[in-house]
Amino acid sequence: MRMTNRIDARIFSLEHTFESGQPLTFYADFDKEHRMMSYPNGSHLITAIHKGAVDNGHIVLSSSHDVTKATADDLKKRMRLKDNMREIYKTISTDRFMRSAINQYKGMRLTLNDPWETTICFTISQFNNMKRIRLITKNLVSNYGKPIINQNGRMIAHSFPNAEQLSNVTKKDYLKHGTGFRAKYLESIADQCNNNIDLYKLQGKSYSYIKENLMQLDGIGDKVADCIALMGYGKLEAFPIDTWVKRTLEKTYFNGEKKSIEKLHNFANEKWGNYAGYAQQYIFWHGMHL
């Protein structure tokens, strides 16, 4: 028997949120036609269906097992449903480009993901493209994640493998799954997270402290650390600058002139402040589709 649960979702688009290249979306399943997403939550597979309008709709939650309050709370947290989008939009719609991005992808939320998962996902993402990022992430999940069994005893998905589950995976194994030159990073990060660095202990710390610690991991630099701070720890002031964001900023605000990463960080910080991370997500996704 499936319990269902209804969650109000104002100014929310499951489609834009899911498709906009964030960690959960690297390995969860999405059915665009039915506005339906399934993702592993512990040993359960949660399904969220988005009903109604972007401005004033709701999500219907179901599960391979029981839907509890914890399940609903997890979805709200992951989709950042408590964010005050009116205030955020007001702050970041500073110009025509931003207003156009918001208009185009209204309801796109940042997601808040597990720090470890986010770290692995964005390690895979470096110097890579969306299709391959999804392919590789799904490979790792299906090969090393714990099987999720439904109430009929059927295996329906895998959970995201934790650090311990990846601890015995070798560089050679990673290469088999298409990770390429990132294999050595994945191996080393799993090792470090099993031994000296507890990613969960960084929760609640400041943005700069989190970033500094993340960058001690092998293969994690400025950009990936910002992504993890933003989408794994919810630090909305983080402003990851990848090739798309850089290109789009230069084109939109600097007449196509090349600018250093540092200059662009300062620019974003002054312009969008504590919501720079949200601005970045809209710049990234809109810029990519220009």
Partner DNA sequence: ACCCAGGCGGGCG
Partner DNA sequence: CGCCCGCATGGG
Percent helix, percent strand, percent coil in the chain, to nearest 5: 50, 15, 35
Name the residue nearer to DNA (CB basis): 44 or 160. 160
CA gap 63, 80 in Å, rounded: 20
CB of 37 to DNA, least distance (A): 16
By the rule CB under 7 A, 20 interacts with DNA: yes
By the rule CB under 7 A, 259 interacts with DNA: no
By the rule CB under 7 A, 244 interacts with DNA: yes
CA gap 240, 192 in Å, rounded: 23
CA gap 290, 283 in Å, rounded: 10
CA angle at 247 for the pair 246 and 253, rounded to the nearest 5°: 85
Q: Which of 9, 81, 112, 245 binds DNA (CB under 7 A)?
A: 245
By the rule CB under 7 A, 287 interacts with DNA: no
CA gap 113, 175 in Å, rounded: 25
Grouping H, G, I as helix, E, B as strand and the rest as coil, residue 122 is helix
Which span (15-23, 143-151, 155-163, 200-208) binds DNA, by CB under 7 A? Answer: 15-23
Residues 91-150 that bind DNA (CB under 7 A): 125-133, 135
> Half-sphere exposure of 145 toward its Cβ, with a 13 Å CA cutoff?
25
CB of 150 to DNA, least distance (A): 30
Q: Which of 50, 223, 265, 286 binds DNA (CB under 7 A)?
A: 223
Q: Using CB under 7 A, list all residues that contact DNA.
A: 20-22, 125-133, 135, 175, 178, 180-181, 215, 218-225, 227, 240, 242-245, 260, 280-281, 284, 288
